[in-house]
Amino acid sequence: MGLLDGKICIVTGGSGSVGMASARTFLREGGEVMVVDLREADVKRATDALASPNVAGFAADVSDAAQTKAYIDATVSRWGKIDVLFSNAGNPGQAAPLTEYPEDVFDKTLAIHARGAFLACKYGIPQMNDGGSIIITSSLAGVRGGNGGNISYITAKHAQIGVMRAAARAAAARNIRVNSLNPGPIDNAFQTNIENAITKMTGVNATELFNSQIPLKRHGHPDEIAGVALFLASSLSSFVTGAVLMADGGMTS
Amino acid sequence: MGLLDGKVCVITGGAGSVGLASARLFVREGARVMLVDLREADLARAAAEIGGGAVATRTADVSRVEDVKGYIDATVKQFGKIDVLFSNAGNQGVVTPVTDYPEDVFDSVIAVHVRGAFLACKYGLPQMNDGGSIIITSSIVGVRGDGGGACAYVTAKHAQVGLMRSVAKGAARRNIRVNTLHPGPIDNEFQLRIEQGITKLAGRDGTELLNEAIPLHRHARPDEVARSALYLASDLSSFTTGATLLVDGGMSA
Q: So what's the ipTM on this one?
A: 0.91
**pLDDT tens column, B89-122:** 999 899 899 999 999 999 999 999 999 999 999 9
Among candidates A172, A230, A244 on the partner chain, residue whose Cβ is nearest the Cβ of B250: A172
Please pick, among A71, A101, A123, A153, the residue that the annotation labels catalytic. Answer: A153
Three-state secondary structure of A161-224 = HHHHHHHHHHHHHHCCEEEEEEECCECCHHHHHHHHHHHHHHCCCHHHHHHHHCCCCCCECHHH
Average pLDDT over residues A192-219: 92
pLDDT, residue A232, reads 98
CB–CB of B250 and A216 under 8 A? no
For B187, residues 6+ apart whose C-beta sits below 8 A from its C-beta are B218, B219, B220, B221, B222
* Cα B236 from Cα A72, distance rounded (Å): 28
The residue in chain A having the minimum alpha-carbon distance to the alpha carbon of residue B241 is A250
Q: What's the pLDDT tens digit per position in A103-112?
A: 999 999 999 9
- State yes or no: is B101 an active-site residue: no
- Residue A177: phi and psi, rounded to 5, are -95, 145
- Flag whether pLDDT at A88 surpasses 90: yes
Distance from CA of B236 to the nearest CA of A (A): 4
Q: Is the pLDDT of residue A194 over 90?
A: no
Interatomic CA distance for residues B79 and B34, integer angstroms:
9
User: How far is the C-alpha of A139 from the C-alpha of A160, rounded, in Å?
Assistant: 9
With an 8 Å Cβ cutoff, are A231 and B164 in contact? no
B175 phi and psi angles, rounded to 5 deg:
60, 30
Q: What is the pLDDT at residue B105?
A: 97
Q: How far is CA B143 from the centre of its chain?
A: 15
Q: Can you tell me the distance from the alpha carbon of B167 to that of B133, in angstroms, rounded to the nearest whole number?
A: 12
CB contacts of A134 in chain B (<8 Å) are none
- Hey, which bits of chain B come out as E strands? 8-12, 32-37, 55-59, 82-87, 128-137, 177-183, 244-247
Torsion sign over Cα A152, A155, A159, A161: positive
Q: What percent of chain B is modeled with pLDDT above 90?
A: 92
Distance from CA of A237 to the nearest CA of B (A): 6
pLDDT reported for residue A49: 98
The beta-carbon neighbor of B246 closest among A173, A228, A243 is A243
Q: Residue B184: its chain A contacts at CB < 8 A?
A: 239
Q: Is B239 exposed, middle or buried (0-12, 13-18, 19+ CB in 10 A)?
A: buried
Q: Which member of B71, B101, B123, B153 is catalytic?
A: B153
- Closest chain B CA to residue A1: B1
**Cα separation, B125 vs B130, whole angstroms:** 9
Predicted pLDDT at B247: 98
Write out the H or E segment, with its range, that includes residue A8: strand A8-12
B235, B243, B253 ranked by CB distance to A242: nearest: B253
- Strand order of the β-sheet with B177-183 is B55-59, B32-37, B8-12, B82-87, B128-137, B177-183, B244-247
Please give the Cα distance from A161 to A101 (Å, whole number).
23
| Residue (of B31, B25, B24, B84) closest to B48 by Cα position | B24
- pLDDT at residue B201 tops 90: no
Q: Check CB contact under 8 Å for A242 and B251.
A: yes
Q: Which residue does chain A place closest to B225, by CA atoms?
A: A239
From the CB of residue A122, how many other CB atoms can be counted at a distance below 10 Å?
Answer: 17
Name which of B53, B22, B54, B52 is nearest B37 in CA terms: B22
Percentage of residues in chain B with pLDDT exceeding 70? 100
Give B-chain residues touching A215 at CB under 8 angstroms.
Answer: 168-169, 172-173, 241-242
CA distance B218 to B76: 39
Entry pTM: 0.94
Q: What is the dihedral of CA B21, B23, B29, B32, to 10 degrees?
A: -170
Q: Which pLDDT tens digit goes with each residue over B50-95?
A: 998 999 999 999 999 999 999 999 999 999 999 999 999 999 899 8
Q: Does A77 touch chain B (CB under 8 A)?
A: no
Compute the average pLDDT of residues A78-95.
96
| Mean pLDDT (whole number) for A168-175 | 97
Residue at A129: amino acid letter = N
* Other CB atoms within 10 Å distance of the CB of residue B39: 10
Q: Residues near B86 by Cβ (< 8 Å), separated by ≥ 6?
A: B9, B10, B11, B12, B19, B22, B134, B135, B137, B229, B233
Q: Express each pLDDT in B152-179 by its tens digit.
A: 999 999 999 999 999 999 999 999 999 9
Would you call A146 an interface residue with chain B, using a CB distance cutoff of 8 Å?
no
CA–CA distance, A174 with A130 (Å, rounded to integer): 5
- For residue A206, give Cα distances in angstroms to A146, A250, B183: 12, 18, 37
**Per-residue confidence at B12, pLDDT binned at 50, 70, 90?**
very high
Residue among B166, B239, B244 with most chain A CBs within 10 A, to mutate: B239
In this prediction, residue B132 carries a pLDDT of 98
- The answer to whether B242 contacts A183, with C-beta atoms less than 8 Å apart, is no
B175: nearest CB among A164, A173, A216: A216
Cβ-Cβ contacts under 8 Å, B225 against chain A = 239
Nearest CA among A238, A225, A248 for reference residue A86? A225
Confidence grade of residue B148 (pLDDT, cut at 50, 70, 90): confident
- Paired strand residues for B247: B183
Could you tell me which residues come within 8 angstroms of residue B204 by beta carbon, excluding any fewer than 6 positions away?
Answer: none
CA distance A210 to A192: 11
Cross-chain CB nearest to B242 (options A224, A243, A253): A253
CB-CB: which of A183, A221, A241 is closest to B253?
Answer: A241
Contacts of B188 (CB under 8 A, 6+ apart): B16, B17, B18, B222
Q: Is the pLDDT of residue B198 over 90?
A: no
Reported confidence tier of residue A149, pLDDT bands at 50, 70, 90: confident
Instruction: Say how many Å lie between the first and final Cα of chain A, rounded.
Output: 36
User: In which band, very low, low, confident or very high, does the pLDDT at B149 lie, cut at 50, 70 and 90?
Assistant: confident
Any CB–CB contact under 8 A between A168 and chain B? yes
Which residues of chain B lie closer than 8 angstroms to A173, CB-CB?
A: 215, 217
Output the pLDDT for position B85: 98
What residues of A are in contact with residue B231 (Cβ under 8 Å)? Answer: 231, 236-237
DSSP states along A120-155: HHHHHGGGEEEEEEEEEE--GGGTS-TTSS-HHHHH
Chain A contact set for B131 (CB, 8 A):
none
Note whether A234 and B234 are within 8 A (CB).
no
Measured between CA atoms, the residue of chain A closest to residue B240 is: A247
- HSE (CB half, 13 Å, CA atoms) of A132? 24
